[in-house]
Structure 1
Amino acid sequence: MAVTVSNIANMVLFLAKVYASYESKSLAVIASTLDSLLNLLSEFIMWFTAYAMKKPNQYRYLIGKKRMQLVGIIVFASVMASLGLQILLESDRQLISKIAPYTIN
Protein backbone atom coordinates (compact mmCIF):
# COMPACT_ATOMS: atom_id res chain seq x y z
CA MET A 1 0.00 0.00 0.00
CA ALA A 2 2.86 2.38 0.82
CA VAL A 3 4.39 1.85 -2.62
CA THR A 4 1.07 2.59 -4.32
CA VAL A 5 0.59 5.79 -2.30
CA SER A 6 4.18 6.81 -3.13
CA ASN A 7 3.57 6.21 -6.84
CA ILE A 8 0.38 8.28 -6.80
CA ALA A 9 2.09 11.10 -4.89
CA ASN A 10 5.02 11.07 -7.34
CA MET A 11 2.61 11.20 -10.28
CA VAL A 12 0.72 14.17 -8.80
CA LEU A 13 4.02 15.93 -8.05
CA PHE A 14 5.24 15.27 -11.59
CA LEU A 15 2.05 16.70 -13.14
CA ALA A 16 2.28 19.79 -10.94
CA LYS A 17 5.90 20.28 -11.99
CA VAL A 18 5.00 19.88 -15.67
CA TYR A 19 2.50 22.71 -15.28
CA ALA A 20 5.03 24.85 -13.38
CA SER A 21 7.65 24.18 -16.05
CA TYR A 22 5.27 25.20 -18.80
CA GLU A 23 4.32 28.42 -17.02
CA SER A 24 7.76 29.48 -15.81
CA LYS A 25 10.00 28.15 -18.60
CA SER A 26 12.79 28.05 -16.02
CA LEU A 27 15.57 25.54 -16.53
CA ALA A 28 15.71 24.89 -12.78
CA VAL A 29 12.04 23.93 -12.71
CA ILE A 30 12.43 21.88 -15.89
CA ALA A 31 15.38 20.03 -14.33
CA SER A 32 13.27 19.34 -11.24
CA THR A 33 10.48 18.06 -13.48
CA LEU A 34 12.88 15.73 -15.24
CA ASP A 35 14.06 14.51 -11.83
CA SER A 36 10.46 13.64 -10.95
CA LEU A 37 10.11 11.87 -14.30
CA LEU A 38 13.25 9.87 -13.53
CA ASN A 39 11.80 8.91 -10.14
CA LEU A 40 8.72 7.53 -11.86
CA LEU A 41 10.86 5.77 -14.46
CA SER A 42 13.07 4.17 -11.81
CA GLU A 43 10.02 2.95 -9.89
CA PHE A 44 8.62 1.43 -13.07
CA ILE A 45 11.92 -0.23 -13.97
CA MET A 46 12.31 -1.71 -10.49
CA TRP A 47 8.70 -2.93 -10.53
CA PHE A 48 9.13 -4.46 -13.98
CA THR A 49 12.37 -6.22 -13.11
CA ALA A 50 10.91 -7.59 -9.88
CA TYR A 51 7.87 -8.80 -11.84
CA ALA A 52 10.07 -10.39 -14.52
CA MET A 53 12.20 -12.16 -11.92
CA LYS A 54 9.11 -13.71 -10.31
CA LYS A 55 8.06 -15.46 -13.52
CA PRO A 56 10.86 -17.88 -14.38
CA ASN A 57 10.98 -19.68 -17.70
CA GLN A 58 13.62 -22.42 -17.60
CA TYR A 59 13.27 -23.19 -21.28
CA ARG A 60 13.93 -19.65 -22.41
CA TYR A 61 16.25 -18.44 -19.62
CA LEU A 62 18.34 -21.37 -18.44
CA ILE A 63 20.09 -19.56 -15.60
CA GLY A 64 16.98 -17.62 -14.58
CA LYS A 65 16.29 -13.93 -14.49
CA LYS A 66 18.39 -12.98 -11.47
CA ARG A 67 20.25 -10.32 -13.46
CA MET A 68 17.16 -8.48 -14.66
CA GLN A 69 17.52 -5.93 -11.88
CA LEU A 70 21.08 -5.15 -12.98
CA VAL A 71 19.89 -4.62 -16.55
CA GLY A 72 17.17 -2.28 -15.26
CA ILE A 73 19.71 -0.27 -13.30
CA ILE A 74 21.96 0.04 -16.35
CA VAL A 75 19.05 1.20 -18.52
CA PHE A 76 17.98 3.74 -15.89
CA ALA A 77 21.54 5.03 -15.45
CA SER A 78 21.94 5.58 -19.19
CA VAL A 79 18.64 7.44 -19.43
CA MET A 80 19.57 9.55 -16.39
CA ALA A 81 23.00 10.38 -17.84
CA SER A 82 21.57 11.38 -21.22
CA LEU A 83 18.91 13.62 -19.65
CA GLY A 84 21.50 15.24 -17.38
CA LEU A 85 23.78 15.88 -20.33
CA GLN A 86 20.90 17.39 -22.29
CA ILE A 87 20.10 19.77 -19.41
CA LEU A 88 23.75 20.83 -19.20
CA LEU A 89 23.96 21.44 -22.95
CA GLU A 90 20.76 23.47 -22.99
CA SER A 91 21.83 25.60 -20.03
CA ASP A 92 25.22 26.23 -21.68
CA ARG A 93 23.48 27.19 -24.91
CA GLN A 94 21.22 29.66 -23.12
CA LEU A 95 24.11 31.15 -21.17
CA ILE A 96 26.24 31.61 -24.28
CA SER A 97 23.39 33.17 -26.25
CA LYS A 98 22.73 35.74 -23.50
CA ILE A 99 26.37 36.82 -23.17
CA ALA A 100 27.04 39.53 -25.69
CA PRO A 101 30.58 39.66 -27.06
CA TYR A 102 32.68 42.59 -25.92
CA THR A 103 33.29 45.19 -28.57
CA ILE A 104 36.26 47.51 -28.53
CA ASN A 105 35.58 50.98 -29.92
Structure 2
Amino acid sequence: MDESRPQPSAEEMDAMFARVGAVNDEMKAQGVWVFAGGLLPSDSATVVRVEGGSTTMTDGPFAETKEQLGGFYVLELENLDEALAWAERTAEACGAPIEVRPFDGIA
Protein backbone atom coordinates (compact mmCIF):
# COMPACT_ATOMS: atom_id res chain seq x y z
CA MET A 1 0.00 0.00 0.00
CA ASP A 2 1.09 3.57 -0.59
CA GLU A 3 0.59 5.35 2.72
CA SER A 4 1.21 8.75 1.12
CA ARG A 5 -2.03 8.52 -0.90
CA PRO A 6 -5.33 9.65 0.59
CA GLN A 7 -7.34 6.93 2.30
CA PRO A 8 -10.33 5.60 0.37
CA SER A 9 -13.80 6.69 1.44
CA ALA A 10 -15.91 4.41 3.62
CA GLU A 11 -17.92 3.40 0.57
CA GLU A 12 -14.77 2.59 -1.41
CA MET A 13 -13.42 0.54 1.52
CA ASP A 14 -16.68 -1.39 1.81
CA ALA A 15 -16.59 -2.21 -1.91
CA MET A 16 -12.94 -3.28 -1.70
CA PHE A 17 -13.62 -5.46 1.36
CA ALA A 18 -16.50 -7.14 -0.52
CA ARG A 19 -14.28 -7.85 -3.55
CA VAL A 20 -11.43 -9.16 -1.40
CA GLY A 21 -13.85 -11.23 0.68
CA ALA A 22 -15.13 -12.93 -2.48
CA VAL A 23 -11.57 -13.82 -3.55
CA ASN A 24 -10.78 -15.05 -0.02
CA ASP A 25 -13.89 -17.25 -0.04
CA GLU A 26 -12.84 -18.74 -3.37
CA MET A 27 -9.32 -19.47 -2.05
CA LYS A 28 -10.86 -21.25 0.93
CA ALA A 29 -13.30 -23.19 -1.27
CA GLN A 30 -10.40 -24.37 -3.46
CA GLY A 31 -8.37 -25.43 -0.41
CA VAL A 32 -5.35 -23.18 -1.05
CA TRP A 33 -5.97 -20.73 1.84
CA VAL A 34 -3.62 -21.16 4.81
CA PHE A 35 -3.67 -17.75 6.50
CA ALA A 36 -4.05 -14.03 5.77
CA GLY A 37 -3.97 -10.85 7.80
CA GLY A 38 -3.84 -7.10 7.55
CA LEU A 39 -1.22 -4.96 9.21
CA LEU A 40 -1.48 -1.64 10.99
CA PRO A 41 0.23 1.35 9.29
CA SER A 42 4.02 1.32 9.15
CA ASP A 43 4.31 4.08 11.76
CA SER A 44 3.13 1.51 14.33
CA ALA A 45 6.23 -0.65 13.68
CA THR A 46 9.20 -1.06 15.98
CA VAL A 47 12.52 -2.19 14.51
CA VAL A 48 14.65 -4.39 16.78
CA ARG A 49 18.35 -4.70 15.96
CA VAL A 50 21.05 -6.68 17.75
CA GLU A 51 24.59 -5.70 16.81
CA GLY A 52 27.67 -6.68 18.76
CA GLY A 53 25.56 -7.97 21.64
CA SER A 54 23.73 -4.66 22.01
CA THR A 55 20.02 -4.32 21.29
CA THR A 56 18.43 -1.15 19.95
CA MET A 57 14.76 -0.52 19.28
CA THR A 58 13.62 2.30 17.05
CA ASP A 59 10.35 3.46 15.57
CA GLY A 60 9.68 1.82 12.22
CA PRO A 61 9.38 1.14 9.47
CA PHE A 62 12.47 -0.95 8.71
CA ALA A 63 13.13 0.86 5.42
CA GLU A 64 12.05 4.23 4.08
CA THR A 65 9.98 3.52 1.00
CA LYS A 66 6.90 4.78 -0.79
CA GLU A 67 5.05 1.46 -0.57
CA GLN A 68 4.47 -0.42 2.68
CA LEU A 69 3.29 -3.94 3.40
CA GLY A 70 -0.41 -3.65 4.22
CA GLY A 71 -1.10 -7.33 4.81
CA PHE A 72 -0.24 -10.77 3.59
CA TYR A 73 -1.56 -14.12 2.46
CA VAL A 74 -0.09 -17.56 2.96
CA LEU A 75 -1.34 -19.97 0.31
CA GLU A 76 -0.35 -23.55 -0.38
CA LEU A 77 0.02 -23.88 -4.13
CA GLU A 78 1.68 -26.19 -6.62
CA ASN A 79 3.75 -23.60 -8.50
CA LEU A 80 4.54 -19.97 -9.21
CA ASP A 81 1.96 -19.75 -12.00
CA GLU A 82 -0.83 -20.54 -9.53
CA ALA A 83 0.56 -17.95 -7.10
CA LEU A 84 0.67 -15.30 -9.80
CA ALA A 85 -2.90 -16.05 -10.87
CA TRP A 86 -4.14 -15.56 -7.28
CA ALA A 87 -2.00 -12.43 -6.95
CA GLU A 88 -3.59 -10.98 -10.07
CA ARG A 89 -7.09 -11.61 -8.74
CA THR A 90 -6.20 -10.23 -5.32
CA ALA A 91 -4.51 -7.12 -6.76
CA GLU A 92 -7.60 -6.43 -8.83
CA ALA A 93 -9.88 -6.95 -5.82
CA CYS A 94 -7.97 -4.71 -3.41
CA GLY A 95 -6.73 -2.18 -5.95
CA ALA A 96 -3.13 -2.41 -4.74
CA PRO A 97 0.06 -4.10 -5.92
CA ILE A 98 0.77 -7.64 -4.73
CA GLU A 99 4.30 -8.97 -4.23
CA VAL A 100 4.68 -12.76 -4.56
CA ARG A 101 7.39 -14.64 -2.68
CA PRO A 102 7.78 -18.34 -2.01
CA PHE A 103 8.64 -19.62 1.45
CA ASP A 104 12.18 -20.78 2.03
CA GLY A 105 10.88 -23.78 3.93
CA ILE A 106 8.40 -23.92 6.78
CA ALA A 107 9.60 -24.35 10.35
**Band of TM-score, shorter chain:** under 0.3
Q: TM-score, normalised by structure 1?
A: 0.28
Q: Which has the larger radius of gyration?
A: 1
Greater per-residue strand proportion: 2
Q: TM-score, normalised by structure 2?
A: 0.27
Greater per-residue helix proportion: 1
